[in-house]
Chains A and B, each alone.
Chain A
């Protein structure tokens, strides 16, 4: 269209067209975020501040006083912080050698190990909980250590999840760090250890800080895994919100806890965004060339990290996954066989479920597809807008605010979102449709959770497009729409594959919000697994194990395929 228009050489720009386009690209995601995130969460939070009286709503802070004066509340807050801090520290300490071995060294099978390390991050939290429970149970491979329902057990599971975050974030930067700085230090007489400590470590600092902040966030809001592993003695603010809502029907103190959670998460997000900004600046120090050397096991500098990584990968990552598969092949009568998998076509012992596990799988695939579609459209638009650097300082700040706003769902607990949906969306915007029974809420809630990941996956790739490439296209006569289609489109498409895979995998495993919203006949696989382990009987437990294996294989496959689509480009933060 515009190609022909150019020949007319219209003297003025139809500026309103550009404004309309960008306006829509901002308005659609913002509207989505407002209706399906801000409104439910704010409504829920307000429940903690107000009480309904015959005269109307009244400000009432007694809920805070009551909740904050309970010894149980502070025990839970303490446990949340202790678990998150220990989990973060351990993930970083173990992740650094892993980043070195997997990104700075070359050895046969490296790609496979990198893929293996990534799998736990996308595994559904319920599955991880079940796997570790099977590991710690009396008679399990680690039954002798008595880690069942223990602090150490939960921390190990958190590290299992977040090891990949550290390895990938730090490794991605380490891989591109110019080795000549360290060589210069060595030439000045520094020992390898001293050169690492004084040159490499400071250069990696921003990446480490950014990874640690993200890991802390994930640990502090961990839900499914803590719910399954913690039993009655251990919990997080997140599981406590769930318990108080669903078990005690105490909405008010749950709302107060949500506020408390927001404070913790807000602080972590602030640190994380600072670290991210520093890291994006530090990226200029790196080169485009990947510099890795062959793994030299004779040298201590390579041997120690290699051993640590081997122990972590084999003991912490492979063992629980292998244990889960083995136990799932253990029939309820003690013999080996596929009985548990055959039972997936039933509704469980004493009809524990309303649907069969295979039907639940169908539900999962259907809702996750819708969720991925929504997340990629909304998140893609956000990434596109945020990747621009407008000339006007005011607009630039607005873009920064948009970026931060769409990171919030990453930190706000999925439980809060799901719970908020329940109390607000019975008559959304005064319309006479009860969204809660329509079944549309589950994919929408899953999309809310997946959007930040989509944005973080696509943004670095879009930002890496040299703005002069767009300028070159414009000087060749391409109108803004055409530039978007012929430059940003093809170059961003690679990250689109990974983003779709990520969104789909995360939606498949989403448990926090889904557990609130899914009706018994539309239960998804994670919900069904949790229900099965809560019911008595070896038969139900066996089914839970088999269903976990099915879900794990499914998400891992989706992720591996998506990872292939990404190719060998840097980018993505998780």
Chain B
């Protein structure tokens, strides 16, 4: 794994997240000592089965879950004790979470309002962003009238509006149908690259991860198994579990002691779980 001392971008070291911990019970471990670097302008996908802890890691980076151990730093500054709203990170939920009492334009403007951006500047930026995501005339629409794909586009525009230092995307396309998902994955990458946004993209779909990300981090049972560029991952998976999850035949992989012997176990990838995915 890459352990270079970075001074820009996101640096996560030995992060541990637990759920249901009390003084007597330790609770269940969702993220178990993960270290991950994301350079400025880079898009990293967190890929893993349901319940592997990828959403928990994302929420810990956003400041929505407390870390039990380890650190999260950005541009060299430790973020311990910095509340969610002062981190300058954007977050995109699986189901958008648009504000139902605001129209499309006012949803996108929300982050700009909190920054105190003047009205005229706000309006032009909202218009630009809506045009970027292909919804140019939608500012006055009620969010209840949008389709699933349109909602996610608005949510993306809303998250990008305050120019976040880092954008966290939590399975943003999972609730959509396959064709829309494939098209939007390309759109999301183009938008992120065009705006030069640093991003962490959580998904359980390897095709989506390869489409969107510069590097892919494969996660299972709260641990990172491998972080590499898509072509490296496909050429040299680090173990049977990674290969299994990428859908590669197990024969290509060097044997390891905990590898399942029969190929029949390949279908059981999604059932392994040691923590809870929040979303």
Contact = CB atoms under 8 A, between A and B. Distances in A.
Interface of A: 2-4, 6-7, 9-13, 391, 393, 466, 468-469, 471-480, 482-483, 486-487, 490-491
Given A13-B83, A477-B88, A490-B101, A472 B114 contact: no
Interface in B158-187: 158-159, 161-162, 164, 168
In this complex, the member of A468, A469, A486 whose beta carbon has the largest number of chain B beta carbons within 10 angstroms is: A468
Given A12-B81, A480-B83, 16 more contacts: A3-B114, A6-B85, A6-B86, A6-B88, A11-B77, A11-B81, A391-B66, A466-B97, A468-B93, A471-B64, A472-B97, A475-B164, A476-B85, A476-B90, A476-B111, A478-B110
Contact of B88 (A9, A469, A482): A9
B22 A393 contact: yes
B116 A476 contact: no
A285 B110 CA distance: 33
Chain A interface mostly helix, strand, loop or mixed?
helix
Contacts of B64: 471, 474
Nearest to A477: B114
B135 interface: no
Given A471-B91, A491-B101, A477 B111 contact: yes
A239 B77 CA distance: 69
A475 B64 CA distance: 9
Given A4-B116, A9-B88, A472 B22 contact: no
A453 B88 CA distance: 41
A11 B97 contact: no
Contacts of B83: 13, 474, 479-480
Interface residues of B, number: 33
Contacts of A3: 113-116
Nearest to A391: B66
Contacts of B91: 471-472, 475
B25 to A, nearest CB: 10
A7 B115 CA distance: 8
Contacts of A9: 82, 86, 88
A477 B62 contact: no
B26 interface: no
Contacts of B77: 11
Nearest to B100: A491
20 contacts: A2-B114, A3-B115, A3-B116, A9-B88, A12-B81, A466-B97, A471-B64, A471-B93, A471-B97, A472-B91, A475-B168, A476-B158, A476-B161, A476-B162, A477-B111, A477-B115, A479-B85, A482-B85, A483-B85, A491-B100
A285 to B, nearest CB: 20
Interface in B32-76: 62, 64, 66
- Most chain B beta-carbon contacts within 10 A, residue among A10, A474, A490: A474
Contacts of A477: 85-86, 88, 111, 114-115, 162
B81 A476 contact: no
Contacts of B89: 475
A10 B86 contact: yes
Contacts of B81: 11-13
Contacts of A472: 91, 93, 97, 99
B86 A471 contact: no
> Which residue of B85, B93, B100, B168 has the most chain A CB atoms within 10 A of its CB atom?
B85
A9 B115 CA distance: 12
A7 B111 CA distance: 13
Contacts of A471: 62, 64, 84, 91, 93, 97
A479 B116 CA distance: 13
Given A2-B85, A13-B81, A472-B97, A486 B62 contact: no
A437 to B, nearest CB: 47
Contacts of A391: 66
A482 B115 CA distance: 12
A316 to B, nearest CB: 39
B97 A469 contact: yes
Interface string B124-152: 00000000000000000000000000000
A13 B97 CA distance: 26
Contact of A475 (B82, B90, B101): B90
Nearest to A3: B116
Nearest to A13: B83
Contacts of A393: 22
Contacts of A475: 62, 84-85, 87, 89-91, 159, 164, 168
Contacts of B114: 2-3, 6, 476-479, 482
A482 B111 CA distance: 11
Nearest to A14: B83
Nearest to A476: B111
* Residue among B86, B89, B115, B164 having the largest count of chain A Cβ atoms under 10 Å: B86
A474 B82 CA distance: 12
Nearest to B78: A11
Contacts of A476: 85, 90, 110-111, 114, 158-159, 161-162
Contacts of B164: 475
B101 A468 contact: no
A479 B83 CA distance: 9
A247 to B, nearest CB: 55
Contact of B84 (A7, A11, A474, A487): A474
A296 to B, nearest CB: 31
A354 B110 CA distance: 58
B73 to A, nearest CB: 12
Q: Which 3 A-B pairs have the closest CB atoms?
A: A476-B111, A475-B91, A474-B84
B18 to A, nearest CB: 11
Nearest to A468: B97
A286 to B, nearest CB: 18
A558 to B, nearest CB: 25
B85 A474 contact: yes
B110 A473 contact: yes
Q: Among the interface residues B62, B64, B77, B168, which one has the most CB atoms of the partner chain A within 10 A? A: B64
A391 B17 CA distance: 13
Contact of A487 (B93, B99, B116, B158): B99
Please indicate which of the listed interface residues A4, A471, A479, A483 has the most CB atoms of chain B within 10 Å of its own CB: A471
A12 to B, nearest CB: 5
Contacts of A13: 81-83, 86
B67 to A, nearest CB: 13
Nearest to B90: A475
A531 B37 CA distance: 79
A293 B129 CA distance: 44
Contacts of B115: 3-4, 6-7, 477
A498 to B, nearest CB: 17
Given A3-B114, A6-B115, A476-B162, A12 B97 contact: no
Contacts of B110: 473, 476, 478, 486
Contacts of A482: 85, 114
Nearest to B115: A3
Contacts of B116: 3-4
Contacts of B93: 468, 471-472
A7 B82 CA distance: 13
